[in-house]
């Protein structure tokens, strides 16, 4: 079964702690993306990666970090510098061509206690 998996589905963390969200895809896609979704708002791009070992900041990268050591994996770390980290986080991937479409994982809901 091809697709995108995100884990865990729900995540709780205390203020001041870093936490890492997992995103894995077996679609052989070159490009991967992290979005943040807040209630009543559209998705906002945090980071994206067009190829292994390369990634770029999106619109709201402050307080987040990523790595892309393998094609299949694009983990997102929410650091203690992120002022308001409670949100729904969505990972997506695409072929990386100009005509491709993005496919999304099921999401991780992060709550800071």
User: Is 100 one of the binding residues for another protein (CB under 8 A)?
Assistant: yes
Tell the smallest beta-carbon distance from residue 68 to another protein (Å). 15
52 or 79: whose CB is closer to another protein? Answer: 52
Q: How many helices (H) and strands (E) does the chain have?
A: 0, 11
Question: In angstroms, rounded to a whole number, what is the distance separating the alpha carbons of residues 93 and 101?
Answer: 8
Tell the smallest beta-carbon distance from residue 6 to another protein (Å). 8
b/e map of 61-93 (b: 16 or more CB within 10 Å)? beebbbebeebbebbbebeeebeebebebbbbb
Q: Which stretch binds another protein (CB under 8 A): 12-20, 61-69, 73-81, 95-103?
A: 95-103
The residue to which tokens 């999401």 are assigned: 107
Tell the smallest beta-carbon distance from residue 96 to another protein (Å). 7
Interface with another protein in residues 23-62 (CB under 8 A): 31, 40-45, 48, 50, 58
């Amino acid at each position: 079964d091809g697709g995108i998996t995100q884990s865990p589905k729900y995540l709780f963390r205390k203020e001041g702690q870093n936490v890492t969200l997992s995103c894995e895809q077996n679609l052989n896609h070159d490009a991967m993306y992290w979005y943040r979704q807040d209630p009543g708002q559209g998705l906002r791009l945090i980071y994206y990666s067009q190829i292994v070992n390369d990634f770029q900041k999106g619109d709201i990268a402050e307080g987040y970090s990523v790595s892309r050591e393998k094609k299949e994996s694009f983990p997102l770390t929410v650091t203690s510098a992120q002022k308001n980290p409670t949100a729904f986080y969505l990972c997506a991937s695409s072929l990386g061509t100009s005509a491709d479409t993005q496919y999304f994982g099921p999401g991780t809901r992060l709550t800071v206690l």
